[in-house]
Structure 1
Amino acid sequence: MMDDEIDLLEIAGQFFQGKWTIAFFVLLFAFVGLVYAVAKPPVYQADALLQLEARAGRLALPEAMTELVDNSPETQTEIEIIKSRLVLSRASAILGLDRRMTPTLMPVLGSAFHRYPFPLPDFEVLRPYIRYGEGAALEELQVPPEWLDTEILLVSKGHEAFDIFLPDGHRLRGQAGMLVSDPKSGFRVKLSELTAGVGREFTLVQINQLDATRSLREALSVSERGRGTGVLELRLTGESPEETQLRLNAVADAYLRQNVSRSSAEAESSLEFVRGQLPEAERAVMKAEAALNAYQSEQQSVDIELETQSLLEQIRALESKLRELDAQEQDIKELYTPNHPVYRQLLAERERIAAELAELRKATSALPETQREILNLTRNLEIAQAVYVQLLNRAQELSVLKASSIGNVRIIDRAQGNSIPVEPRRMRILALACILGLVVGMGVVLLRNRLRRDVTSPDDILTLGYSVFATIGQVASKYQLQGRHSKPKLLAIEDPTDLAVEAFRSLRTSLHFSMLDAELPAIAITSPAPEAGKTFVSSNLAVVLAQTGQRVCLIDADMRRGALRKYFNISKGSVGLAEVLAGDIELEKALVLGPEPSLAILPSGKHPPNAAELLMRPSFKHTLERLKEWFDVIIIDCPPVLAVTDPVIIGKTAGTLLAVARQDKTSMGDVHAMEGTLATNGLQVAGFVLNGFDPKRLKSRYGYSYGYGYGYSYQNRTEK
């Protein structure tokens, strides 16, 4: 598989291995999300419905022209009008949104203590914070202009009494239900209710009207319900259902009033236009009438002839008929196309009447000049009179419309507050927090594995140039040292047929050939870091060597946290290497017989405060020289290299230095660090033993805690 390919099975294995890390982050984020959901103040929502009706033609235009005007409601325009300062400032002024009174809440969880009956001790430091069931209602607040947006402290004194600390340093005393004022500054305040314990603090502030309007606009949303319906849905959010409902009703009423005022203003504007046209129309009538009278006097003709009168009446009738057909066409063309039989019939009728009208007008040209002129002047007079009469009628209609204007908006549903808060959505917050914790946990696991590469196979050690003497498979936990109070058993004694025991036999063979030229038959077994299983390897290797008849001495050189005695049931207070090196006891008396006749154990003894100094004494080398005379092989169980300096001191004396690494537990960084530490002191590892190897986990590289903080675990201990 190429390096740039993603192995999903490997990633899944990493997640499984780091499941506790992921679970920790999920629980942590879930707890934080739960605290946030409980502490966040609830937000309630109220909604209302308005209908925008199509505006009727109210302009001072002839009836035929009013139909050409688009009377559909302009929804977006009305939405912007609702959210304008014209409407919202009126609602804000009616509700008194420019004055606020807020209680002092405890940080973080203050809202929860205010809304839920959680007990809160009445300590002095907690006394200013509001409790469950406490509150106040502000009825009136007036401050001088220079105190706008300035917070004023109010402290409850119990029994509805309170003190107010003004910005100028004065203090006022008051009682709920009574007006409290300061004539010097012009400050006035009145509380309608105060139910709070002694020492509870509230903040009074009066903001400017512009900020109050802006705050109301941010909480308001307006949208059209359905496309082209003309129905607007208003939503408003607030801290309580009752308050939110009251505010939204105020906004709807303010918009309704301005709509009525706007309709009335439109009628007023049209009425002024019509009234301005009436004098001109009246003068046109008088002028046409004067022209007709003057011509008749000049021609000494009082009336037109019967034939001319008949032509005039026919022309009037045909012109009236044409106007009616034009009105009918406006209605028909909304229903039919020009090719429809009904539409075509109307067009044909209009063409016929137009032709007759043209014939009559042509006939008037054959009349005598006097009759023709009288006919024209009479028609001009009648047209002027018709316009004047129409304007008079329109003026009366607009006067009635102005007096009875109701606007084109009506409230379908008045505001209704919901008792269930819209925010915070606790289940959603908790679910998102868990998802975020899951993502963060998986990210931490992947990042940790990316930054740290563990020893997973013998190849990882071979790439460093070291030999792998043995690969020991996984064994039951009872054979491993699991903790300070565990009592492990010897695998080579309890289950000699286990495959891991065969690995120890292979290690025994490898060490036999590698130590042929060694001056001192001592094997120092160490590891880069704790929990690699070096004591497990040392004890079982000693048993396997002893089972061949070789005389073996197993030394617990970890005089700080030595646990080799647990494998051989040696009491904790037994003397051992520490007492031998200190000269407190003879070497022969410190040796303990092992489970095999040819195996002897030298425990670590009581934990001395100067383990490194004892190992640096000549007595340590002298002890090994004496043991060389008595035993064929000496195995020394050493502390980890990266924890203390003891393995370096021991390695200077021992003939062979063997390191133990554990699959998916020992990191490559630890191996490199151990290599550098030993090289600095002129030492080199003869080979490695890979412990706890599981072929199924060969492809996965799981992460553990990384670092070199092992010194604390190996601090000197003193026996009580």
Structure 2
Amino acid sequence: MTITPNNKQVNPQQPMFMSAKAGDSFDLLDSILRHWKLVVFFSIIGLFVGVVVSRYVRDSFENKTMLQLDTKSKSSKAVSDFGDLFDAKSPAVAEIHLIKSLSVLMPVVEQLHLNYTAEPQGIVDRLMRREGRMDLDLFEPPKMDREDKSLKGKKWIAVVQSQDTYELFSPMGQSLVVGKIGETYRIPMGADTVAICVKAIYAAPGQSFSLSKSSVLNVAEGLQSAINAYEKEKNSNILEVSFSGRYPDRVANVLNAIAQAYVRQNVEMRSAEAEKSLEFLEEQLPSIKAKLDSSERLLTNYRNKMGTIDLGAEAQGTLKRQVDLKAQLLMLQQEYQEKARLFKEDHPAMQAILQQQQRLGKEIAMEEGKTKKLPTTQQDVLKLQQDVEINNQLYTSVLNNIQQLRVVRASEIGNVRIVDPAYVREKPSKPNRKKIMLAGFGGGFAFSVILIYLLHTMRNRGVGSSSEIERETGVSVYAKIPKTQISRKLPGVSDKRFILAKADPEDIAVEKVRTLRTALEFSFLDEGGRVLMVTGVAPGAGKSFVSLNLSYLFAKQNKRVVFVDADLRKSRLSHSREKGISDILINNSKLEDCVIDMGEGMYFLPKGSRAPNPGEMVSSKAFADLIDECKAKYDVVVIDTPPNSLVSDAQAVAKLVDFGLVVIEYKKHSLEVIQETIDQLNIAKLKKVAIALNQCVNDGSSYGYGYGYGYGYGYRYRYGDKKKS
């Protein structure tokens, strides 16, 4: 933390962190731009997949029907006399469940033969959108199909012969019948038969269909999931039922059949109570008529026996009141019996009737008390006339109620009506083919970007800032060598020892190597040093590229430079039959016999024949003497060693050199690995060490070079893309 002149605290790491994040974003964008061909390729592949999927997905037609729910009773006055039996309210939620009930859907499945299916076959026809259609009225395969395991996975096939004929094939491929539409065929198969009736064919000759039959229950349960029923707005009592399918006319037929079945069931349910009441009254009517006849007969016999008896005004008034009260009591008793089928005795409606009966009973008792004051003959006549009047009034009331209930039963329309039936829609609701193709294109583009991002992340797991490396390790970064693209047309590009500085001196990477050469001249050549070791942190850093071009640039300054290939294990620069270091150390070959003149003052010393123990060889006194001999004969000695992280050869060579150059690949190595390499060289008492950051990107240009160097199972040697003209 630092303090500015304005006494403001500034965190020096914050702008560096923000710069690093911005740099990473620019690196990723640059990586995407550099791999534009990959982006285009996967985008085209995604678009192609989207086109295929959009054509493979079948059209789906959605349709709707609208229903209105009436929660107010439309029943006649006669029904209301019997309470709320015919005025039950049906909430929208309950009605939605009824619409999707099996009692509604199963008859629809049977009516429209939805359990028989004819599925079009052929991927080409489906992709070309040439699929036909076959409607079945009947398909009954033999029961042995379900029992014979050998037929599992095999299908019944119907092949269209013409617009009105087809040929049926068994699962074994046997032709059974050539039939016509509208005709039912029953073909014997062993001890069973197969039955088929094709309602219609809308397909070109040669198209085939696989036939199957499902249980009505399974299809109805499938409809339960496929149908969507909901209230259009809350408390609006307007219900919408929607359904989607492959064929628009079938979708409309299914919805209309469901609506009609539901309305019919609703009417039947609402008229069921009237039917029960009518049945009860018709059962009671004969006994009421018998009581009326009996009371009239008793009154007639009494008059014949006793003669005409004149009743006074008071007796006639008492008679009328008793008749009315007892008629009301009988009606209450009848209503109590009616409701006893629906409610328990402690129900409020039942208790209300009982209270009314008790009140009427008290009033009747009072009137009967007045009757006892009359003469005996008048009491007898009064009682007989009272029975006749009561039974006659009850009989007439029951007849009227029966007639009214019959009218209610015949005229009941339920509490639901169809507002809008489903009409056949010609335009499919799904799929949106443009969206599918756009999604395919976007998916391909996104996949390519994610792939590039993953590759970018894998390749850029380490540090790329020279200032960060210098701050953490204390070692100077002498150069940041950018990536460049090497043209295949350059002379000698296919040679193992291809030198870019010689073939293309103006390349941006060569310019940075010149900067490195200048820094090395000041740091060790001007101080009397002559031996330079170039090593890498890990395989693929490009140390051989740097050391080879650096040697050539030293030679261009009129210096005799020898490049020593000290990678005795798996060098990529030396040929297998060339004499070199191992031959000098083992077979006592001479240095001048092994050195290869590469021209312009540069010489190359190969690794030689296969060495039995490379680590011991570079650590030997003979190797040290060889380096001393090189120092005596050449102005600059550049030693290329194996990667330091794999073997200890670089540490052994470090004891013999004046300066060490560590080549690090841009954003490939962590600070811990870099620091470990520096520490190992310091242990070998090599105090003068510098770093070259190689294969940099976004270093003021968009260059990159394609050399790669791998160590492990074997070296890989690759060139980059052709250089842009």
Report deviation, 1:272. 0.2
1:454 aligns with 2:459: no
Distance in structure 1 (CA, Å) of the matches to 2:126 and 2:109: 26
In the superposition, relative to structure 1, how do residues 204 and 708 fare at CA in structure 2: closer, same or farther (>3 Å)? farther
Q: 2:99 aligns with which of 82, 101, 105?
A: 82
Q: After superposition, what is the alpha-carbon deviation per residue over 1:671-699, rounded to whole angstroms, capped at 9, x for unaligned?
A: 699899999x99999553334679999xx
1:103 aligns with 2:104: no
SS of 2:374's equivalent in the other structure is helix
Structure 1 residues 360-509: aligned runs within 5 Å? 369-370=373-374, 385-426=392-433, 434=442, 438=446, 445=453, 449=457, 453-457=461-465, 468-473=475-480, 480=484, 482=486, 505-509=518-522
Contact 1:469 1:510 in 2 (8 A): no
Distance in structure 2 (CA, Å) of the matches to 1:266 and 1:293: 41
In the superposition, relative to structure 1, how do residues 258 and 72 fare at CA in structure 2: closer, same or farther (>3 Å)? closer
Q: After superposition, what is the alpha-carbon deviation per residue over 1:192-251, rounded to whole angstroms, capped at 9, x for unaligned?
A: 4374565x5432222222223223333222222222333221111211212212222222
Q: Which residue of 1 aligns with 2:716?
A: 713
In the superposition, relative to structure 1, how do residues 208 and 537 fare at CA in structure 2: closer, same or farther (>3 Å)? same
Q: Which residue of 1 aligns with 2:64?
A: 47
Q: Which residue of 2 aligns with 1:332?
A: none
Q: Which residue of 2 aligns with 1:269?
A: 276
Q: Which amino acid aligns with 1:56?
A: S
Distance in structure 1 (CA, Å) of the matches to 2:688 and 2:259: 86
SS of 1:41's equivalent in the other structure is coil
Q: 1:253 aligns with which of 257, 260, 276?
A: 260
Q: After superposition, what is the alpha-carbon deviation per residue over 1:51-91, rounded to whole angstroms, capped at 9, x for unaligned?
A: 23346375997745536975433333332332222222211
Distance in structure 2 (CA, Å) of the matches to 1:92 and 1:38: 30
Q: Which residue of 2 aligns with 1:571?
A: none
Distance in structure 2 (CA, Å) of the matches to 1:410 and 1:500: 90
Distance in structure 2 (CA, Å) of the matches to 1:369 and 1:713: 135
Distance in structure 2 (CA, Å) of the matches to 1:557 and 1:673: 22
Distance in structure 1 (CA, Å) of the matches to 2:80 and 2:44: 74
Q: 2:533 aligns with which of 503, 509, 523?
A: 523
Structure 1 residues 689-704: aligned runs within 5 Å? 689-691=692-694
In the superposition, relative to structure 1, how do residues 457 and 10 fare at CA in structure 2: closer, same or farther (>3 Å)? closer
Contact 1:528 1:671 in 2 (8 A): no
SS of 2:122's equivalent in the other structure is coil
Report deviation, 1:303. 4.9
Contact 1:60 1:273 in 2 (8 A): no
Q: After superposition, what is the alpha-carbon deviation per residue over 1:351-378, rounded to whole angstroms, capped at 9, x for unaligned?
A: xxxxxxx999999988983299798997
Q: 1:221 aligns with which of 204, 228, 232?
A: 228
SS of 1:242's equivalent in the other structure is helix
Report deviation, 1:396. 0.8
Q: Which amino acid aligns with 1:240?
A: Y
1:183 aligns with 2:191: no
Contact 1:26 1:435 in 2 (8 A): yes
Q: Which residue of 2 aligns with 1:602?
A: 603
Q: 2:214 aligns with which of 184, 199, 207?
A: 207
Report deviation, 1:588. 7.7
In the superposition, relative to structure 1, how do residues 367 and 557 fare at CA in structure 2: closer, same or farther (>3 Å)? same
In the superposition, relative to structure 1, how do residues 281 and 29 fare at CA in structure 2: closer, same or farther (>3 Å)? farther
Distance in structure 1 (CA, Å) of the matches to 2:678 and 2:180: 81
Structure 1 residues 526-545: aligned runs within 5 Å? 526=536, 528-530=538-540, 532=542, 535-536=545-546, 539=549, 543=553
Q: Which residue of 2 aligns with 1:112?
A: 127
SS of 1:193's equivalent in the other structure is strand
Provide the aligned length of Structure 1 versus Structure 2.
621
In the superposition, relative to structure 1, how do residues 378 and 663 fare at CA in structure 2: closer, same or farther (>3 Å)? farther
In the superposition, relative to structure 1, how do residues 405 and 689 fare at CA in structure 2: closer, same or farther (>3 Å)? same
SS of 1:602's equivalent in the other structure is strand
In the superposition, relative to structure 1, how do residues 541 and 451 fare at CA in structure 2: closer, same or farther (>3 Å)? closer
Distance in structure 2 (CA, Å) of the matches to 1:312 and 1:642: 127
Contact 1:37 1:429 in 2 (8 A): yes
Q: Which amino acid aligns with 1:183?
A: P
Deviates more, 1:42-51 or 1:249-258: 249-258
Structure 1 residues 514-663: aligned runs within 5 Å? 521-526=531-536, 528-530=538-540, 532=542, 535-536=545-546, 539=549, 543=553, 552-553=561-562, 578=578, 590-593=597-600, 600-602=601-603, 626-636=629-639, 657-663=660-666
Q: Which residue of 2 aligns with 1:193?
A: 201
Distance in structure 2 (CA, Å) of the matches to 1:663 and 1:532: 10
Q: Which residue of 2 aligns with 1:597?
A: none
Q: 1:144 aligns with which of 134, 142, 145?
A: 142
Contact 2:27 2:697 in 1 (8 A): no
Contact 2:157 2:210 in 1 (8 A): yes
Ranges in structure 2 where 5+ consecutive residues have no aligned partner: 1-10, 328-361, 492-499, 584-588, 701-707, 720-725
Q: After superposition, what is the alpha-carbon deviation per residue over 1:605-642, rounded to whole angstroms, capped at 9, x for unaligned?
A: 9xx9x886699799998875554223232124567678
Contact 1:577 1:603 in 2 (8 A): no
Contact 1:471 1:693 in 2 (8 A): no
Contact 2:479 2:513 in 1 (8 A): yes
In the superposition, relative to structure 1, how do residues 542 and 592 fare at CA in structure 2: closer, same or farther (>3 Å)? closer
In the superposition, relative to structure 1, how do residues 525 and 440 fare at CA in structure 2: closer, same or farther (>3 Å)? closer
SS of 2:219's equivalent in the other structure is helix
Q: Which amino acid aligns with 1:231?
A: I
SS of 1:416's equivalent in the other structure is coil
Deviates more, 1:246-255 or 1:141-150: 141-150
Distance in structure 1 (CA, Å) of the matches to 2:79 and 2:321: 24
Q: After superposition, what is the alpha-carbon deviation per residue over 1:553-594, rounded to whole angstroms, capped at 9, x for unaligned?
A: 45688997669xxxxxxxxxxx9995777999967871421x
Report deviation, 1:528. 2.1
Q: Which amino acid aligns with 2:717?
A: Y
Distance in structure 2 (CA, Å) of the matches to 1:153 and 1:682: 86
Contact 1:470 1:507 in 2 (8 A): no
Q: Which amino acid aligns with 2:251?
A: T
SS of 1:88's equivalent in the other structure is helix
Q: After superposition, what is the alpha-carbon deviation per residue over 1:295-330, rounded to whole angstroms, capped at 9, x for unaligned?
A: 99999994543356568889999999xxxxxxxxxx
Report deviation, 1:661. 0.9
Contact 1:49 1:234 in 2 (8 A): yes
Contact 1:155 1:202 in 2 (8 A): yes
- Give the alignment's TM-score, normalised by structure 1: 0.65
Q: Which residue of 2 aligns with 1:333?
A: none
- Give the alignment's TM-score, normalised by structure 2: 0.64
Deviates more, 1:667-676 or 1:276-285: 667-676
Q: 2:170 aligns with which of 155, 166, 169?
A: 166
Q: Which amino acid aligns with 2:540?
A: P
SS of 1:18's equivalent in the other structure is helix
Structure 1 residues 331-346: aligned runs within 5 Å? none
Contact 1:100 1:138 in 2 (8 A): yes
